[in-house]
Amino acid sequence: MAFGRFQSRPAPAPLSEINVTPLVDVMLVLLVIFLLTAPLLTSHIRLDLPASGAGQSAAPAATSITLSITANGDVFLNDQATPVAELATQLATTARERPDTEVLLRADTDAPYGKVVQVMGIAQKAGLSRVGFAVQPSQR
């Protein structure tokens, strides 16, 4: 018996496993937040569209193409009459050559809405996602 000494025990071995409980807690909280906010983001679309006569017309982009749709549904690509079947291949070629090309969509007021949506879908499938709408400035 040594005077003034405590019995020494061997030091505990270090833990060789990671405590994942805090990580799981944080991930579950994030999952709940995303599950609650995702439906709120998709169910309400807020549009803030500018008036057609309020601003100046923007100059066309350096790499842009013009798609025009007449009142009877004819489609023109850069003022050239183009069948809808050929439009997809021509837009895909343009997207491969210049992926940052902007599409300027000029649709007649009486153009069928379905045709406008169809042309926009063809442009998107071809890889052209930048679409601008041409409008006539209002007369003051």
Determine the average pLDDT of the residues in 51-76: 70
Here the tokens at position 12 are 């505990």
Say what the pLDDT of residue 46 is: 40
Cα distance from N-terminal residue to C-terminal residue, the chain: 107
Q: Where are the domains of the chain?
A: 73-133
Determine the average pLDDT of the residues in 62-83: 83
Here the tokens at position 32 are 């709940």
Query: CATH assignment of 73-133, given 3.30.420.270, 1.10.3720.10, 3.30.1490.20, 1.10.540.10?
Result: 3.30.420.270
> Strand 64-69 relative to strand 75-77: parallel, antiparallel, unpaired?
antiparallel
Determine the average pLDDT of the residues in 52-59: 54
**Contact residues for 53 (Cβ-Cβ < 8 A; gap 6+):** 137, 138, 139, 140
Does the pLDDT at position 26 exceed 90?
A: yes
Residue 139 binned pLDDT confidence (cut-offs 50, 70, 90): low
Does the pLDDT at position 102 exceed 50?
A: yes
Determine the average pLDDT of the residues in 107-135: 85
Where are any strands of DSSP class E within the chain? Answer: 64-69, 75-77, 80-81, 102-107, 130-133
